[in-house]
Structure 1
Amino acid sequence: MHDLLKQNQEIWDLFTRKEEYSSKNLDEHGRVLYAQKDLKKAFEPEVSRYLVELGMKIEFPENKTFAVCLTHDVDDIYPPLSHMLLSSAHCLRNLNFQGSAAQFLWKFRGLEHSPYFNLSEIMDLEESFGAKSSFYFIAAEADPIRFRYDIEDIGHHLGEVSDRGWEVGLHGGYYSFDNLEAIKKEKKRLEVVLGKKVLGFRNHYLRFKTPDSWEILADASFRYDSTFGHSNSAGFRNGMCHPFRPYNLKEDREIRILEIPLVIMDVALFAISKSFEEAWECTKKLIDITAKLNGVITLLWHNFVFGCSFRRDWVRLYEKVLQYCSERGAWMTSGEEIYRWWENRS
């Protein structure tokens, strides 16, 4: 694939994100900031289209024509005070006094009653559409905002996710994205609790540095990453709507990891959309483009969304996506299954 891409310099520069190697235009989290014109271009998977036009053919399991990689970053298991207040206020506006009180009463019943212990409900929803997904858990000790959770305290929840056939991956710590030893430590900590190897990764806050992050993750023995996407928009960051092996321009070689690029994150999607309808049209457009090119579209819906009343529209959109993609005959599955399928293609 790389040899084909090198034949077109513009396509090659886009695929490798050459401009990111020396970009000084970063936000407060060290993430590359793009001009508005570049974000608009990201809605077209130019590199994947180029490869398809040159004859690249993709065959999915069970004769599916495209895939949806469903993922959830488990940022919180216990609602922070700000979430509880927002959910309570939302319930009060709808005269749901019992619901408003419930936002706080769970604490008196015990931590196991937290509304963000909702992994089973999410899996049940996906299972009803014949889908599976990935859950990425935090195993870092430090966080810039607040204490999240100790992974050792929720081992039985990880076991349930894994036993049902969904994926448990690592949600790398905020301060770890450029630190190999820290990522190895987090990976080991999660694997000890889970009782098996972890293959997939996505970093907290989508912190990522091209190409260094890929090199670090490969050295940490991850098989795939799904961090590479936009934190403040949606679309195809390097023009790809297919998994790919990244390329290190500095060392002129392929990197030993698969990238399953992130296309839509709930927070970013609703930040750029003025209404539910606009968010759906944006999502549908990206799904349809991906389907036309027999690609893979990766979605990120945080688990907390399913447990707080002030994000009901976000849940409704996720359900609409599942329904739409099911009707279109998509293969809806986890990052791990996408990775294994991609690696085993003949």
Structure 2
Amino acid sequence: MIPTVRIAIDPALAARRAEITYTWRTLLTGMGYSWYEEQWQAAPVTIAYTTDPAQAPPAQIVIHACAERWANPALARLRGHTIQRGYTLPLLEGDHEHVQPVVVHGSLHIGHDPIFAAFWLLSGYEEEQYPTLKHGYRDLTGSPMLTQGLLRRGMASAIGCWLAEILQQCGLPPGIPRWPNGAVLAATCGHDVDYPEVVRWLEPLRIVRRQGMRGLRAARDVITGRRHHWHFHSWIALEEQIGARSAFYFVARKGSLLEYATGRPDPFYDVQAPHFRALFRELSAAGWEIGLHASYLAYTDRRIFAAERERLAVASGQPIEGNRHHYWHLHPQQPEQTLLIHEQVGFHYDASLTHNRYLGWRRSSTWPFFPWHRRLRRAIRTLQLPTGWMDDHLFGQKQFNPGERDTLLGDLRETVSRQGGLLLVDVHDYVYDDTLFPGWAAIYRSLWEDLAARGRVWFATPAAIARHWSARASSIAENSHGLGEDEQM
């Protein structure tokens, strides 16, 4: 039985109803509650969301909506955070420091507007205030997200957790579980397959650049063929010991050194080669997922994207459910345009919304969610699995993530554990060799072993996690009334 939240939304917010109902559906789905939307002033409700608390219907909880912010979300700015019930919540410019709910005439009043804050984070308005760098990366230098460590706090999903605890304080039962089999969190890895085959004259130069003179012996071993990047079976063995399953994301477009040098850095392998076809059969038989690592410019043309997905499907002999972009390369100014292509091509999920430089959750959610498309004013139907950590964050991008590696990953683990979220990480296929990439695989192994030892973790492939979340979201929506998505089409 799915517990239900009865909700009423102030008609004065009608101009932004599509955005508001999207946010409520996203939060309530994450919280595990169905909803029943009442007409304004028609009946007592659990939650009244209103611009004028004095005119709200009888409600257990009254949330004060900020119409000015909804009118122009792009003007909002993050200035810091507050801690409520152990959750890190955002403070926007103009918010008061104290956001503790207060009881007024028997109703619990929330004076800030957490619903707007969640929308602002989930829909990408927060990141737009920062400069765009090469490959479409954002430069967050000096932002509260970095200076206060807020990327690692999942503030949008934290709002949902905070509201869920308030609902339970008001007498509602807990929402339905987020994960199966009594798990309190889900964990999975997507291995980006960038350089599975060593270019013997090129890779030694990369080793020396990373390691300096210490890397000369390793460089010689690569030249002689003693060391390589073909470590699929190594990852399988490591993850099988823990009881985990992951995905390998393959680039279906074969690049070249000339293209790489001229600004199109796609890998050089061919997924249709016999040894790759044999690998696909092995991975599938062992229970690992095969996904697409969309090429550098795939986002520019839906036809390119569809052709790459089809090429990998033919080579692997199976449907391709998920995607992650090479170089995280989405449309630099309008990422939602790329996310819409995922829907049009038919992907079940994507896992590309993260920051190349910075550890943490780009859209501030540890829960999977359906992204918002601003022009269409509706949710995109391809689920987003939020990626929290890429291996290079703690090695090549270390200067942007100061601190002890174990401590930084511990922050992610604790945030996901507290929020009952998803810990999705990106560890490249070629970094298994500890001589070529000292510590890279070891820290992943340590994190996964720690999670397994703690217990109540659902290790599954990204595709399995996406199928579970989508089915759960559909079940909640089918048992709900109002907040209708049909109003946005």
The TM-score normalised by the length of structure 1 is 0.89
The answer to whether the aligner puts 1:205 opposite 2:327 as a matched pair is yes
Counterparts in 2 of 1:147 and 1:325: CA distance versus 1, 3 Å: closer
Given that residues 232 and 271 in structure 1 are in contact (C-alpha distance below 8 angstroms), is that contact kept between their aligned partners in structure 2? no
Give 1:92 shift: 8.2
Choose which of 417, 425, 430 in structure 2 pairs with 1:304: 430
Paired AA for residue 163 in structure 2: L
> 2:284 & 2:129 partners in 1: Cα distance?
39
The answer to whether the aligner puts 1:30 opposite 2:126 as a matched pair is no
State the partner residue of 2:247: 134
Is the partner of 2:229 in helix, strand or coil? coil
The answer to whether the aligner puts 1:183 opposite 2:183 as a matched pair is no
The answer to whether the aligner puts 1:243 opposite 2:368 as a matched pair is yes
Paired AA for residue 186 in structure 1: E
Is the partner of 2:437 in helix, strand or coil? helix
Choose which of 452, 462, 467 in structure 2 pairs with 1:340: 467
The answer to whether the aligner puts 1:152 opposite 2:279 as a matched pair is no
The answer to whether the aligner puts 1:2 opposite 2:22 as a matched pair is yes
State the partner residue of 1:84: 204
Paired AA for residue 197 in structure 1: P
> 1:94 & 1:45 partners in 2: Cα distance?
38
Choose which of 139, 147, 152 in structure 2 pairs with 1:43: 152
Counterparts in 2 of 1:94 and 1:245: CA distance versus 1, 3 Å: closer
Alignment of 1:246-285 (within 5 A): 246-273=371-398, 278-285=404-411
> 1:41 & 1:59 partners in 2: Cα distance?
23
Give 1:57 shift: 5.0
State the partner residue of 2:16: none
State the partner residue of 1:102: 221
> 1:184 & 1:178 partners in 2: Cα distance?
12
Is the partner of 2:250 in helix, strand or coil? strand
Counterparts in 2 of 1:138 and 1:308: CA distance versus 1, 3 Å: farther
Give 1:179 shift: 1.6
State the partner residue of 1:316: 442
Is the partner of 2:415 in helix, strand or coil? helix
Give 1:11 shift: 2.1
Give 1:85 shift: 4.5
Give 1:24 shift: 7.8
> 1:276 & 1:32 partners in 2: Cα distance?
18
Counterparts in 2 of 1:94 and 1:140: CA distance versus 1, 3 Å: closer
> 2:234 & 2:155 partners in 1: Cα distance?
37
Counterparts in 2 of 1:194 and 1:114: CA distance versus 1, 3 Å: farther
Which one is further off, 84-93 or 31-40? 84-93
State the partner residue of 2:67: none
Over aligned residues, Cα RMSD in angstroms? Answer: 2.7
Give 1:187 shift: 0.4
Counterparts in 2 of 1:185 and 1:125: CA distance versus 1, 3 Å: same
The answer to whether the aligner puts 1:67 opposite 2:194 as a matched pair is no
State the partner residue of 1:163: 285
> 2:266 & 2:340 partners in 1: Cα distance?
29
Superposed CA deviations along residues 62-106 of structure 1, whole A, max 9, x for unmatched, are 2111111211000012124443345589698499x6x66432222
Counterparts in 2 of 1:103 and 1:235: CA distance versus 1, 3 Å: same
> 1:117 & 1:310 partners in 2: Cα distance?
13
> 1:173 & 1:102 partners in 2: Cα distance?
30
> 1:321 & 1:287 partners in 2: Cα distance?
8
Which one is further off, 296-305 or 308-317? 308-317
For the pair shown, the structure with the greater C-alpha radius of gyration is 2
Counterparts in 2 of 1:116 and 1:13: CA distance versus 1, 3 Å: same
Is the partner of 1:177 in helix, strand or coil? helix
Given that residues 78 and 116 in structure 1 are in contact (C-alpha distance below 8 angstroms), is that contact kept between their aligned partners in structure 2? yes
| Higher strand proportion | 2
Give 1:261 shift: 0.9
> 1:19 & 1:250 partners in 2: Cα distance?
17
> 2:117 & 2:404 partners in 1: Cα distance?
31
Counterparts in 2 of 1:319 and 1:198: CA distance versus 1, 3 Å: same
> Any stretches of 5+ residues in structure 2 without a counterpart?
1-20, 28-69, 71-112, 165-174, 476-489
Superposed CA deviations along residues 202-229 of structure 1, whole A, max 9, x for unmatched, are 0000012321111011101111000111
Given that residues 208 and 215 in structure 2 are in contact (C-alpha distance below 8 angstroms), is that contact kept between their aligned partners in structure 1? no
Structure showing greater relative contact order (alpha-carbon pairs closer than 8 Å, 6 or more residues apart)? 1
The answer to whether the aligner puts 1:14 opposite 2:140 as a matched pair is no
Give 1:252 shift: 1.0
> 1:247 & 1:147 partners in 2: Cα distance?
31
Give 1:149 shift: 0.3
Count of aligned pairs: 337
